[in-house]
Amino acid sequence: MLRRANSLPPARERQEFGRFRFAEWTYDAARRELVRGDGLTVPLSAAEGALLVAFLRHPGVVLDRERLLDLARGRDLKPFDRSIDNLVSRLRRKLGDDPRRSRFVRTERGGGYTFVAPVERLA
């Protein structure tokens, strides 16, 4: 049986699919579905989902703005402004994360961010 090339996402997008668990959250990248332990589903934009996947694939690693832009590859992100900071802020708000006492995304001096929660990759 032949499969149409356009029926599958590009290889880069297929690699971003996966399921992750961190703290009380589960994230399904294929569905862009963020679910809290009590069942609350929090909608994410494509850019927020891509940013979250970048963090979940690199927990404990300081990622500067340029690297986050490269990993997230968000179409609405511009490397010459502070859009990545706004995106991080939106993601923090949706996770209920306080930047002063972060449980998830910690701001690093010098212009980067670290995902500090332990991450489990699910099958």
| Domains of the chain, residue spans | 5-115
In this structure, are residues 121 and 20 in contact, taking their beta carbons and an 8 Å threshold? Answer: yes
Fold of 5-115: Arc Repressor Mutant, subunit A (1.10.10)
In tens, the pLDDT along 35-90 reads: 999 999 999 999 999 999 999 999 999 999 888 988 887 555 555 567 888 999 99
What's the pTM?
0.81
Tokens 């997230």 map to which residue?
72
Coil, strand or helix: which one is 105? strand
